[in-house]
Amino acid sequence: MEFVTAFKRNELINDALLEQVFCIENSEDFYLYVEKLEAQLELPSDYLMQIALNALSAKVFYKPMMPKSWFFSTAQTVSSAQAGNVVKLQSNHEQRHYLVIESNTKASTLLLIERSHQLDNVKSLAQFGLIKVMNDRLIPVQICKTLKENAA
C-alpha cells in the first residue's frame, strides 16, 4: 500500500523521499493518534485513518517550524497540549479543530482536521496543513459530533 500526504516536497526532510519501513515507534504513534481520535470524535474510520497517517507523516518527516501564534486569540481556558488531543484555534474569522501532533511546555505542532481555516484576510490553511502555536492558544474540545460537516 502506498500513502501520499498532503505535504509539499519542500516542506519535508530529505529522508521523506527515501523508501520507508513502518517501524515499532511509528506503529505506537499511529495507534495513539487513532485511539485518541476515536475517543474524541465521531468520524468515519477511513477518515480517522487518513488523519492519523497525515499526523504520523508530519511528526516523522515535516521540517521544524517556528510558532505563528499571532493568527489566533489567546484561549480563556487552555487545553491540555498532549499528542493526540483534539483542540480548537480561534482566528479573527473562525474557529477550527486541530490534532496535536507533538508538544512541549511552550508550543505545539497542530494538524488541521477540517477543510480549511481562514487565518486572516489573506492567509488560510488547507486541510491537513500544519501550524505551530504557543500552548496558550489551544482551546479545549469536548466530543464533537458536528465535525463531520466541516471535515469531508
- Residue 82: CATH number of its domain: 2.30.30
Query: 138 and 74: one domain?
Result: yes
Q: Please give the full DSSP string across 95-133, using - where no structure is assigned.
A: EEEEEEEEE-SSEEEEEE-SSEEE-SSS-EEETT-EEEE
| Domain assignment of residue 3, yes or no | no
| Domain assignment of residue 126, yes or no | yes
User: Is the confidence at residue 93, as pLDDT, over 70?
Assistant: yes
Of the residues 17, 39, 61, which one is the last residue of a structural domain? 61
User: Is the confidence at residue 63, as pLDDT, over 80?
Assistant: yes
Query: 54 and 92: one domain?
Result: no
Residue with cell 460537516: 149
Q: For residue 104, give Cα distances in angstroms to 72, 100, 107, 135, 144.
A: 19, 11, 6, 9, 25
Query: 28 and 82: one domain?
Result: no
| Domain assignment of residue 2, yes or no | no
What total of structural domains would you count in the chain?
2
Extended beta strands in the chain, E state: 86-90, 95-103, 107-112, 116-118, 124-126, 130-134, 139-140
More confident call, 139 vs 13: 139
Residue-averaged pLDDT of the chain = 88
pLDDT band at 144 (very low <50, low <70, confident <90, very high): low
Domain around 34: 9-61
Query: 57 and 75: one domain?
Result: no
